[in-house]
Chains A and B, each alone.
Chain A
Amino acid sequence: MNKSLFKISPGFEDIMPAEYRELVEHGPYEKGFGVSDLGTFKELIEEHPLCAGCGLALSLRMILASLPKPEDTIIVGSTGCSSIAFPQVALHNIHSLFGNQNALASGLKRALKLRFPDKIKDVVVIAGDGATADIGLDMVMQSWFRRENITTIMLDNEAYANTGGQESGMSPQGTILNMAPTGKKFPKISLPEIAREAGCAYAAAVSPAHPKRLEKAVRRAILLAREIGPTYIQVFSPCPTNYKFKPHETIARIKQREKDGTFSIKEYISPEAQEWLAQIEEVKK
């Protein structure tokens, strides 16, 4: 999208909502902002109704601030907590159904390639752990097998949070949640490793406790999805509401999990992706 499209017709400035005016005047389109610039520009996400201390909301803010080309990024979401935040995101974003996000994104990306063969159009899937690792896993993996040029980002809050805190495939073993009244019986699904084996050029696990690492992962994943193939990022986004901790403890919670070894930053880069990254990161230097 050319930024000149995004303007308010003269004479209508005063009737446009304040947040829309701010977006036109101080939005991130064509600016190349990153997470270090948060607080200096109008973010793509407006006030949202997610819970206080929501790890997912924090991750989403950072992901949106890390997009390499927001003016040409289309988001595909799925049912879950994030789907309540997306109506306030100033990018074209699609909520279709629960679990079909990667199938929909496959069709969308191929359509945009046909319509804009000489232009970058980044298709980024952002969905929860239930949508990605449980109900939609076949479509997520099939999109990787097919080597679709899309980025898949999982907001991993380790539960079905929006429906009231049920166990998901990403909940740690032993956790007591709804529908797991005696504790979860099997371990957290190793999706970054599955992604690596399923054809992803890049797979990473990050968290909002380390914003620059998160930003780097998002940029690498999106740039590699354009050129090499599918990419996957898992963003650990603890849920204070369903895991019953205080809203201000979200980041401390991540750090605690890092310390006890139940969460760690991961990054797998395929040799082909490595070569390409070395080239562009060399040029940048």
Chain B
Amino acid sequence: MIDQRVVTPEYLFFEAPREKRFMTGSEAVREAIKRANVDMAISYPITPQSESMHLVGDLYAEGYLREYFRGENEFAVMSAVAGASMGGVRVFTATGGPGTLRAFEAFPTWAGARLPIVCAFMTRGVNSPLSIQPDTIEMAFMLNTGIMMFHAETAQDLYDMILKAFVIAEKTDVHIPVGVFTDGFFVTHTRDTVEIAAEDIKLPPYNPYCAPVPVMDMENVPVRQMRDPFVMKSNFISYATHASWQQEIMAAAERARNYVVKYLGGLVEVENEDADILIVASGTAVSQSREAIGMARREGLDAGLIKIKCLRPFPGEEIRKLTRNATAVIVPEFNRVGWLCQEIKSVMEDTGKVIGGPRVFGGMTMPPDLILAEIRRCSR
């Protein structure tokens, strides 16, 4: 059996010595799960996610997890992790692209049932035509499911965000699921330097009785006996019950802001925030933007960068303040619909200065030159 020492989250995240290793994003998932004290993981293959859950399976074989199996499809897997979470254990799974859409009905139920599930989404294009290539379009659909959403730019982000997601999700006053999204292939299948803690330490175990709803284990009194079921009742009390429950899920995400600030260092990260031209991005679009800003500087042009790490809850106040004095706000995205641009416009006062693009999709890479061209155009 594996000998790991339980440490506080704060020690694991901020104090424990870290070693630099060169690894893929999928391997960064393995390293996070190795230290996350996960009880159970359930897998289902889909490119570009599969490798990460193979590696989690290896961790199970090595004794780091207590239960692991392959489900029959993503809807079933997301249902099975819900059952496991209702039964009071810490669970992990991962999917992406068509898998996310296949499982879609499950996500609002995770949030509605206050389940602190952590799921990694390795994003890819959705059909038709058939594509397995990078694209973040599935995130557009996920924005209003009630789950919290982090977007990792690098393998390092992926490692840190997955570990921190468990701690934030399991806070009693939060206790809703967290999706950690990363751009398939660009992060999952490329190698990068990742600083990781020693493998003999791990997070404290999940305490199911910290949940704000009863654990389904018949170890606490069943209190759901009621005279009238809410479902299908056409009366104000049943509407109000459902409505206030939804509001409470939203409030839980709001309460998570403090923990995102504490553990992720904020919902956004800013570089050169006083520049007239700001680029706002999430995921690997941030790396491409940073590259473009470097190229612009060499031409004597100035631009700043806002990296959004947390999309739900959305850093509306941060974006509003940071963009107030900018003359142009460029939003590069790896999808057709421009969901991030819509989000940013929804919180800004002067939306006329938002440039919705460049956008690439269908698997294309985003050459920094495309972003540089926008910086040049805005600098005229």
Chain A interface (Cβ < 8 Å from any Cβ of B): 1, 5-6, 19-20, 23, 46-47, 49, 71-74, 76, 83-94, 96-97, 100, 103-116, 121, 138-139, 142, 146
Contact = CB atoms under 8 A, between A and B. Distances in A.
B317 interface: no
Given A46-B227, A89-B222, 19 more contacts: A71-B218, A74-B218, A76-B83, A83-B231, A90-B225, A92-B216, A92-B217, A92-B222, A104-B79, A104-B83, A108-B83, A110-B69, A110-B87, A111-B67, A111-B91, A114-B67, A121-B217, A121-B218, A146-B69
Given A107-B82, A115-B87, A84 B224 contact: no
Contacts of B219: 1, 5
Contacts of B214: 92
Nearest to B68: A110
> Across chains A and B, which 7 residue pairs bring their CB atoms closest together, nearest first?
A111-B87, A107-B83, A107-B80, A108-B83, A107-B84, A100-B79, A104-B83
Residue among B40, B42, B106, B224 with the highest chain A CB neighbour number at 10 A: B224
Interface residues of B, number: 46
Residue among B72, B80, B81, B229 with the highest chain A CB neighbour number at 10 A: B80
A103 B77 contact: yes
Nearest to B226: A87
A1 B222 CA distance: 10
Contacts of A73: 218
B73 A90 contact: no
Interface string B70-97: 0111011101111111111101000000
B217 A115 contact: yes
B3 interface: no
Residue among A111, A121, A146 with the highest chain B CB neighbour number at 10 A: A111
Given A108-B83, A110-B40, A114-B66, A100 B225 contact: no
B160 interface: no
A97 B221 CA distance: 24
A96 B218 contact: no
Interface in B37-89: 39-40, 42, 66-67, 69, 71-73, 75-77, 79-89
Interface string B216-248: 111111101111111110000000000000000
Nearest to A122: B218
A20 B81 CA distance: 32
B365 interface: no
B75 A100 contact: yes
